[in-house]
Structure 1
Amino acid sequence: MTLDINRIECLIFDLDGTLVDSEVLCQQAHCDVVPDLDWDAAYLINHYRGIKLVDIVRAIEDRIGQSLGADYELRYRARVAELFDSQLQAFPDVTETVKALDLPRCIASSGPLNKMRHSLGLTGLLPLFEPHLFSSYAIDSWKPEPDLFLHAAEAMGVAPEACLVIEDSGPGIEAAKAAGMQYLLHCPDGHQPPKGYDGPHFSHYASFPLLGPHSQV
């Protein structure tokens, strides 16, 4: 697929790994909370990027051979918040690029809304997207199902085929395809694209494909 820029009327951004450099922190939190786990953050990223939390928890339980307990999500979320407070950053040039893109925009994330607002607030991105924040938890549907992106498009008043999804994960790209939307992969230097992916991609926000030749980023 090549981008048809002239058809794009709305930008739908994923959050973790797309706007903010949070994937290592999110996966490291599992390692911190489950000391018996012999997977490191790099392994979790390579195998579970974009996968919903309940499925990651199930895989960890299978790996260690025991339940993580009913309170695991609370303990995990608390550790993520601690790591975010001390280390979370937006990707370079995100703020300048988003400001330069003269299109309606929103965020559609698999994370809960309070986590979205926390990371956006820490990185100064919240004013650029609020109130257009859409969470899988609000509609009880997760990528690679298309429901979240379709929900976001409807809320933004834009037809699916006029939306461009910016994602970093295989499940996110599959969800965009299933929703009938254009898609663009954020794959920073040193990251691996989803297996078999050969679609449009970018590595640095300063070279975001929709920026005009005279954009100041």
Structure 2
Amino acid sequence: MRKTCLLFDNDGTLVDSEYLCNLAIKQQFAELGVNLDVDHLVEHYRGKKMANILSILSSKHKVPIPDNFLPDYRERVAKLFEKQLKPIKNVELALSKLPQQKAVVSNGPKFKIEHALRLCGLGQYFGERIFSAYDLDKYKPDPEIYLKVAKILGTKPQECVVIEDSITGVMAGSQAGISTLFYNKTHEKHQLTNVTDFEDMADLPQLIANLPSAT
């Protein structure tokens, strides 16, 4: 069974947004009197559900999250995106060489995904096939998020490939039984099955072509 559907994460996989998103968290918490390190946030919270991140940081630093925190954070991220967001290096080259159906599957809200793709000129590769955990009510690392999207798209898990940049997302793909490619620039250790690590998006077309066909 050949690979006919590619399921991409967004932040850190298609668009180089992880630093910007976590910079916004740092700036928001600075207003609460808490000093956070952006690199530490990226390392420890990349790919996780926003509500869980805020809950952990609130508890750790003993500060309540005000009601306006999340909308102010979203506005701050949007402004940072407008000024600084770029696509991941070589990702558009890879996308242009991949004939398969493509979709985005993200833990982020749909409006944020669409904004990022528009700014980076990548929306043309995905059309309406943009899926947010907020709408699906399934969040990575729950494998059901990818199984649900595959069903919506009318494909079998064996026909899909997941492309992710975080352990959280890779866990979701691996545990769904889907061939998963891990854009692992920081050489994170894992023992997940059905996962292939890589470091350059230019290699993506050949990696997908080399994946064994499911029977």
Mark yes or no: TM-score above 0.5. yes
In the other structure, the counterpart of 2:22 is: 27
**Unaligned runs of at least 5 residues, structure 2:** 211-215
Paired with 1:194 and 1:63, the residues of 2 have a C-alpha distance of 25
Write out per-residue CA displacement over residues 99-152 of structure 1, whole angstroms, 9 at most, x where no aligned residue: 111111111001000000000000000111111001000021100111221121
Answering whether residue 203 of structure 2 is matched by residue 207 of structure 1, we say yes
How far has the Cα of 1:194 moved from its partner?
4.9
CA RMSD of aligned residues (A): 1.7
How far has the Cα of 1:168 moved from its partner?
0.6
Q: Which moved more, 1:43-52 or 1:192-201?
A: 192-201
The TM-score, its normalising length taken from structure 1, stands at 0.89
Q: How many residues align?
A: 205
Paired with 1:37 and 1:142, the residues of 2 have a C-alpha distance of 27
Paired with 1:203 and 1:100, the residues of 2 have a C-alpha distance of 18
Please give the secondary structure, in 2, of the residue aligned with 1:7.
coil
The TM-score, its normalising length taken from structure 2, stands at 0.89
Please give the secondary structure, in 1, of the residue aligned with 2:208.
coil
Paired with 2:52 and 2:81, the residues of 1 have a C-alpha distance of 22
Contact 1:135 1:148 in 2 (8 A): no
Paired with 1:62 and 1:82, the residues of 2 have a C-alpha distance of 28
Write out per-residue CA displacement over residues 166-203 of structure 1, whole angstroms, 9 at most, x where no aligned residue: 00111111111221211000123xx2425556841221
In the other structure, the counterpart of 1:81 is: 78
Contact 2:29 2:36 in 1 (8 A): no
Moved over 6 A (4+): none
